[in-house]
Structure 1
Amino acid sequence: MEGTHTMPETITPAPAVPPTPPVPLQALLAREDLALRQIAGPADPGTVIHGAHTSEMTDPSPYLLGGELLLTAGVHVPKEAEPEGYFAGYVSRIVAGGGAALGFGVAPVHDTVPPALVAACEQQGLPLLEVPPHTTFSAVARAVWQLMAQARLAELRRVTEAQQSLAAAAARPDPIPSVLRRLSQHLSGRAVLYGPDGTEVAGAGRETPPEVRAALAGLAGVVRPASHPAKAPAHPASATDTHGGVHLAVYALGAGEGFVLGVAGRRREAGDHTIASVAAVLLALLTGEHHSGAGAARSSALVRLLLGAPPEEVAPLLGAGRRLVVHARPEAQAPDPVAASALGAALGSPLVDLAGETVRVLVPADRVPQPQPGWTLGVSAPAEPREWPAADTQAARALARARATRVPLLRHAARPALADLVPAADAETHARTLLAPLAGQPALAETLRAWLSLHGSWDRTAVALGVHRNTVRQRVARCAALLDTDLDDPDVRMELWFALRRG
Structure 2
Amino acid sequence: MHSSDLEDPTPFLDAGQLLLTDGTQFPVEAGTGTTAAGSLTGRESPQVPNSQGYEGYVRRLVDHGIVGLGFATQVIHGTLPKGLEEACRSQGLPLLEVPDRTPFIAIIRMVADHLAKEEHARAEWSLQAQRAISRAALRPDGLTSILGELERQLHSWVALYDAAGNYVRMPRNRPVPSTIADEVALRVRTALDLGTRSASHQDIHGESVTLQTLGRKGSLRGALVLGAIEPLDPARADIVNSVIGLASLALEQARTLDTARRHLRAGVFEQLLAGSTDVAISTARQVWGQLPRAPLLVTASRQDSPAPNLLEALELLADDHRGAVFYAMRGELLIVLTGRAHQDKVLELLRRHGAVCGVSTEVDMDGLPGALEEATRAMRRAAELNRPVVNFSELSDGGMLGLLREEEAGPVARGLLQPLIAHDTAQQTELLETVLQWFANDCVWDTTARHLGVHRHTLRNRIDSAGRILGLNLDGMRDRLELYAAVQFLDNA
Name the one with the larger helix percent: 2
Please report the TM-score for the alignment, with normalisation by the length of structure 2: 0.45
Q: Which has the higher contact order (CA 8 A, sep 6+)?
A: 1
Larger Rg over CA atoms: 2
Please report the TM-score for the alignment, with normalisation by the length of structure 1: 0.44
